[in-house]
Structure formats: C-alpha cells, structure tokens
Amino acid sequence: MITAITAGIDIGAKTVKVVILKGKDVIGRGMATTGLDQKESAEKAFKAALKEAKIDQKDIDRVTATGVGRMEAPYASSQITEVGADARGANFLNPAVRTLIDIGGEEGRGIKVSPQGKAVDFAINEKCAAGAGAFTEAMARALERPLKEFAELALKSTKSIPMNAQCAVFAESEVVSLIHAKTPHEDISRAVHDSIADRIISMVRRVGIEKEVMLAGGVAYNVGFVNSINIGLKLEVIVPEYPEYVGALGAALVAAEK
Amino acid sequence: MLANYGYKDGSGDYFIAIDTDKCNGCAKCVDACPQSVFEMGDDDSDPLREEPVARVSGEQRKKLKYACAPCKRYLTTLSGGKTEETMKEIEKLPCVVSCELRAINHSW
Amino acid sequence: MAEEKKEYWRWLESRWTNPNINWRQAKIITGGVDVGSVSTQAVIMADGDLYAFANMRTGSDSPNSARNAFNWALEGTGMAETDVKYTVGTGYGRVNVPMAKKAITEIACHARGANFMYGPTVRTVLDMGGQDCKAIRIDDKGKVESFLMNDKCAAGTGRGMEVFSDLLTISINDVGKMSMEVDVEPEPVSSTCVIFAKTEATGLLRQGWAKNKVLAAYCRAMAGRVNELLQRVGVVKDFAITGGIAKNIGVVSRLENLLGLKALTPRHDTQLAGAIGAALFAKGLLEKDLKK
C-alpha cells in the first residue's frame, strides 16, 4: 500500500499555515501573512510547504482546511473547525494533553481535549486585543523593543507589579507612565505578561484546567508569557516544536484519516 | 436606580445590572459568588442614599467576562446575548438565585 | 523617544470668568474639581451660577493637577482659595483633590452637571470622556435613574479618537470636521477593538483611502458603538452629550442620525459637566452644614 500524502491548511486572520504529512510524518511546513487576498496568501503558504516537502501539488492526495478562512480553499476535500483541528493536533503531539491553550495574534482559545483527541469544551476570546498576542506586541512597541527581547526581559524581573488596564490601548498608556516613573523594563515586561496570562487563565478556567496542559499558537514562542502562564497555573505547560502549526497539523491528520 | 456594571468590548457585552431600588443590602450575593464579584458599600451614584447597597467590586468591573467565566458553562453551546435559552441559564447563576428580591441580572 | 514629535492628539486648554457676576456680592461660593485621566476641570460657582472655570490636561499626579486647575480658575478674579467655602472632588482622581472636603463619583456629578448645563428637560446624558464612556438616565432634578459606565475598553472613548488622530497625523481638534468632508459616507471601520481598528485603518490607507474617508469610517464606527451603549439604558428625550467628544462634530452628527434625535446645544464647555455637578453638590452640602 502506498502511504498517503495529505495536507492541512489553517487560514487564520493574520497568517496562513500549511502542514504536509506523509503517513504520520510531517514532511513540509509553510506559512504566509494573510494579505488582502486570502486565496493568494493560502497559495503562497502552500507553495512554501510543497517546496520544503520537495513534492508537487499533484502528489497530494487530500487536503483539509481549517481556520476562519477555511472556505477560501476550494481544493480542500473537507473542512474542520479551528477548535477541532487544534484538539486533534495536540493529541497527536502528546496524547496526555487534556487542556490546550492556543493564543494567536488576534485570538485566544482554551480547549478541553479528550483522550481520543476530540474537543470536549472550549472558550474563545476574539475581537479584543487584550486576550491575544496583539496585546504583547503593542506593549513591546510602547517600550520600543523587539518582541523577542521584550519577552526575555520578563525572566529577569525581580518584582511583580500589578497592571490596572484591561485594554491594550489603556495598557499602552500605563506602560508609558511606568517608563516615566523609572520602573525597570524587566518588571514592566513581567507585569505585561502576568496581566495577559491572568486573563487567559481565567478564560480557560471555564472549561476546567486538567493536566497535561499544552500551549500552542505563535505566542507560545514568547518565553515571558510561558513563564507567567506557568506561575499562574502552578505547573509546567508543554510547548511543542512549531506551536503555531498545531491547527494545520490537526487538519492534515483529519485528511489522512478520511 | 439601575446600575449597570461591566463593559462592552470587541468580543461582546458583559454587564451585571443591579436594581438598587430593589436591593435591601442583605449581602447574600456577596457570599453566593464564588469569584468575589460582589461587595456591599455606599451607593456611589446616589450620594444621598444612606443604606449600603450591593455593587460589583471595582477590581472586577473591568474583567467580568473572565471573572464570571467559571459559572457560565452554557456559553460553550449558546452564543450569549439575550436569547430565551441564555436567559434561562442566567436565571440559574448563583448570584441571581441568591437574590430573593431579584435585583441582579446578567447581559450574557 | 523623539523629542520633537508633534502631538496631534493634544487638545487646547482654556479658562473663563463670567463677566456678569461680582463674586464679592455672592452668599455662597463653592468649587468643583473633576480630575479625569486625560483632562482636569476646576469650576467656581457663585450662588449656584457658573463664575469661573479652567480646563487643563491632567499632569503626572492628581493632587498637582487639581491644584493647578483650581489656581488657574482663580487667576485674575481676586478670589483666594479660602473664599471658596466648600469644594467637592470628582472623576478618576477624586480622592486626591487636596482642597476638596468630599469626593463624589463622576456618574452622580455628571448627571447633576448636565441638569444644570442643559436644563431640567434632559433625560439621557452621554458622556464621552478621555478613558471612559458613560450613558446616564436622569430625572428632572438631575438624579440618576439608570447608568452604565464603560471604562474597560478604549473603543468609544476620547483615547480611541486620539489614537486615530495620531495615526493619521491630524490634530484632534480637526478630526470631526475633516470626517464630514466626504462625498459618500463609507462603511464604518468593522473592528471594535482600537488596536485592531488601527490595523484595519492602516490597510485602508494602503488601499488608497483618503485620510478624511478613514476618519469618516472611524467616526461612524464610534457613533455606532456609543449608540449600542446608549440603547442599554434606553434613550429618552431630551438628549445631551457631555465630555470632550461632544466637540467632535463627526461623531455627534452621525450619532444624531442613528438616534433620529438632536442633542441639545450646550450653554458651556461640554467638558465641564462633572466639575459643575461637583460644585452644585458642594453647595447643597455647605447649605446642609450651615443649617446645623
């Protein structure tokens, strides 16, 4: 029997991600920023993944699409919700995962995952930057530092200070006041990450937090955020390799099972 | 007076309304809420009222969506807002149940 | 940070003395100080009528902001701080007003101030401040019947408009007027969240939208948003708008269209409502004290 080659495409608000599977092995990944034309961005991400996999579009047996723009992929033979794809991907990476926290640039999700890799319950924050990656990006800009450097600063903090603002725009003003008050940037960074972690944890609490907990989405690369989540949850979350591809991986797995 | 505590942001409406004319200051809601959302105090918006009244604590007013999340399991299947189904679920919330005078309501 | 960066979002400070009042003949002189997150107002009232005011930006701390505004209101009047017999503080920094004997929340003060500024027929007050948005229903005496205050989210607040004025490098004083200079009204900016709306606006500019068209789309979005907040308390005639955004014709006219209702024309600077209400509460409290 020939091993099937399948692809999962995750068309999000900010980025498109593609994972190509040969059987159950990932052979290619590709990403593109979502531009004005979602179809065009999807094609770009797909090409990148094909190139990495060193195969042709015609070698792909089946495609499953997920993400808000999942209907923009007419070549997909099936679609799956972001939540379903996320749960499937997390389960594949680590079957012990019962809670998945997926934080992207514009959206945050908490998902309760069954041992079979199904989404049992979920909570979402969308359309508000306070509970998404855009929050930390805006704060890094207020401190005039690259995001990575800003995130790493949090680990050197010696003091935990509370932030009052629950809105990214108001938090920017608060960060500026903290800078003027000569607060060490390390402590400001910690405060910012604690504040978003606090909101995310409260949101995930609605679905119940059960070990193991996995952190997915681009924000999982942010070490300051991971640190604050670990402190807030009093446990160590699992951060997979390529955390932003968990949804696309889940979609590719669904395609492989069809 | 109808005091609407909470906010509306990009993701939705999150208000707890307290009818201060109905509230008799019994403080049962303060004990009933597992997230310490309620407190008793002066009626800020009516400086002339002498009796204490139930309020949403200043700390929680800006994060009700998150603070109330553990009690709102129904939001997995219902989209929130004032639909008939959501209203039925709101009726079962511990704070709403605790208030015999029916002074407390939720918007989501 | 660039030292010389022009701050498009800054609005003008002002002060005023009522030429028709001789304060030395007044029986009761009271003060009201509203320390907001962005602006601070101090008003002096003589026998319940507006005598002087100052409207300034809030500085780094509330006590100093209150003092500066209060002193500026007194400037040139010959009045000393001790001539003001009772002062009430309100607003975000109300507990830090050094000359105030009492602090009263901005909801109560705005309601009372709107009743004074617009007359007893006002039933619905929308206050759009720098960092919050309030919808208040009041009775003919200015007592609060129902209210809502949104200070969690920047959408629908002065701060949201400031972000746009900065993004488009257009002075905050001109954004409203400029937004009216469009031939066809564009669709409103679809994101509520100011951060996402900013991203959306950047995209619109890249598509070649003119600045005034982007402003029109944002003013329309803001009008839509405050309309939704108003609907929660219900809109009853007469309707009045207070706070800094009341000066933004781009938002006000679009909101009036949505409501099918004209907002009353103010007698005074719309940013003064809170401070006026505070000074009126001060008068009531002083009279109560004197009776004892």
User: Over 90: is that where the pLDDT of B73 sits?
Assistant: no
| Contacts with C132 from chain A: Cβ below 8 Å | none
- Cβ distance C72 to C56 under 8 Å? yes
**8 Å CB contact of A127 and C196:** yes
Shortest alpha-carbon distance between residue A128 and chain C (Å): 5
Given CA atoms A39, A44, A47, A52 in this order, what sign does their dihedral have?
negative
**pLDDT at position C3 over 60:** no
Give the closest of B11, B73, B75 to A128, CB-based. B11
* Nearest CA among A100, A56, A33, A35 for reference residue A249: A100
C104/B47 CB distance under 8 A: yes
Structure tokens at A9: 């495409």
Nearest to A140 by CA among A131, A129, A127, A149: A149
Neighbours of chain C (3+ CB pairs under 8 A): A, B
Question: What is the third-level CATH fold of A1-94+241-258?
Answer: Nucleotidyltransferase; domain 5 (3.30.420)
Average pLDDT over chain B, rounded to an integer = 92
Q: Who's near B95: CB < 8 A, 6+ residues apart?
A: B16, B29, B32, B33, B37, B38, B104
DSSP A36: S
Q: Show which of residues 183-242 on chain A sit within 8 Å of chain B, judged by CB atoms.
A: 199, 202-203, 205-207
Q: Which is higher by pLDDT, C5 or C160?
A: C160
The residue in chain B having the minimum alpha-carbon distance to the alpha carbon of residue A121 is: B76
pLDDT, tens digit, 9 for 90 and up, residues C143-185: 999 999 999 999 999 999 999 999 999 999 999 999 999 999 9
Give the CATH superfamily of A95-239. ATPase, nucleotide binding domain (3.30.420.40)
Q: Do domains A1-94+241-258 and A95-239 have the same CATH topology?
A: yes
Contact in structure between C157 and C131 (CB atoms under 8 Å)? yes
Per-residue pLDDT, A239: 98
pLDDT at res. C44: 98
Contact residues on chain C for A177, CB-CB shorter than 8 A? 60
Q: C14-113+272-291: which CATH architecture?
A: 2-Layer Sandwich (3.30)
> Are residues B69 and A130, on separate chains, in Cβ contact within 8 Å?
no
Closest residue by Cα to residue C94 from C31, C142, C35: C35
Report how far residue C287's alpha carbon sits from residue A211's, in angstroms, rounded to the nearest whole number: 64
- What is the C-alpha separation between B79 and A118, in angstroms, rounded? 21
B33 to B20, B29, C233: CA distances (angstroms): 18, 6, 25
Q: Is the pLDDT of residue B103 over 60?
A: yes
Distance CA B90, CA B104 (A): 10
- CB–CB of C104 and B10 under 8 A? no
Cross-chain Cβ contact A167/B11 below 8 Å: no
Confidence of residue C5 (pLDDT cuts 50, 70, 90): low
Q: Which residues of A179-192 are buried (b: 16+ CB within 10 A; e: fewer)?
A: eeeeeebbbbbbbb
A182 touches chain C (CB under 8 A): no
Of B9, B10, B69, the CB nearest to A206: B69
Looking at per-residue pLDDT, the higher value among A171 and B80 belongs to: A171
Query: Is residue C4 over pLDDT 60?
Result: no
Which of 1.10.3470, 3.30.70, 3.40.50, 3.30.420 would CATH assign to domain B2-106? 3.30.70
3-state class of B37 per DSSP? coil
pLDDT tens track for C80-91: 999 999 999 999
Contact assignment for C195 to A36 by CB distance below 8 Å: no
Would you list the domain boundaries of chain A? 1-94+241-258, 95-239
Which two tokens mark A50?
Answer: 């094909």
Whether pLDDT at C1 is above 60? no
DSSP secondary structure letter of residue A218 = G
Q: What local confidence, expressed as pLDDT, does residue A13 receive? A: 82
Integer Rg of chain B from CA: 13
Alpha-carbon gap: A172 to the closest alpha carbon of chain C (Å): 11
For domain C123-263, give the fold: Nucleotidyltransferase; domain 5 (3.30.420)
Q: What is the C-alpha to C-alpha distance for residues C48 and C32, in angstroms, rounded to an integer? A: 11
The ipTM estimated for the assembled molecules is 0.91
Q: Using CA atoms, how far apart are residues C103 and C34, in angstroms rounded to an integer?
A: 10
**pLDDT at position B80, please?**
67
Q: Where are the beta strands (DSSP E) in chain C?
A: 14-17, 29-35, 39-46, 49-57, 86-90, 102-103, 124-128, 133-138, 144-150, 239-242
At C10 the pLDDT is 72
- C220-239, pLDDT tens digit by residue? 999 999 999 999 999 999 99
Q: How many residues are recorded in chain B? A: 108
Omega into A212 within 30° of 0, i.e. cis? yes
Q: What residue in B sits closest to A199 (Cα-Cα)?
A: B66
In the three-class reduction of DSSP (H, G, I as helix; E, B as strand; rest coil), residue A148 is classed as helix
Quote the tokens at residue C125. 């007050």
The span from the CA of A127 to the CA of A68, in Å, is: 13
Burial readout C232-271 (b: 16 or more C-beta within 10 A, e: otherwise): bbebeebbbbbbbbbbbebbbbbbeebbeeebbebebbbb
Dihedral pair phi/psi, residue A29, rounded to 5°: -135, 150
| Cβ partners under 8 Å of residue A250, min gap 6 | A8, A66, A80, A84, A85, A86, A87, A88, A89, A90, A92
Location of structure tokens 């994972």: A19
Q: What is the DSSP string of C110-132?
A: HHHHHHHHH-TT--EEEEE-SS-
Question: What one-character DSSP code corresponds to residue A67?
Answer: S
Stretches in chain A below the pLDDT threshold 50: none
Band (B32; pLDDT cuts 50, 70, 90):
very high
Chain C residues whose beta carbon lies within 8 Å of the beta carbon of residue A106: 196
**Token pair in block for residue C167:** 């993004």
Q: Which 3 state secondary structure label does DSSP give A38?
A: helix
Assess C233–B contact: CB distance below 8 Å, yes or no. Answer: yes
Q: CB–CB of C148 and B4 under 8 A?
A: yes
Using CB atoms within 10 A of its CB, is residue A257 exposed (0-12), middle (13-18) or buried (19+)? exposed
Residue C2 has pLDDT above 50, yes or no: no
* pLDDT per position as a tens digit, C191-227: 999 999 999 999 999 999 999 999 999 999 999 999 9
Q: What is the mean pLDDT of residues C115-120?
A: 95
Question: Length of chain C, please?
Answer: 292
Q: Show contacts of A240-244: CB within 8 Å, 24+ apart.
A: A240/A90, A240/A93, A240/A94, A240/A214, A240/A216, A242/A29, A243/A215, A243/A216, A243/A217, A243/A218, A244/A15, A244/A17, A244/A31, A244/A104, A244/A216, A244/A217, A244/A218, A244/A220
Q: Is A170 on the interface with B (CB under 8 A)?
A: no
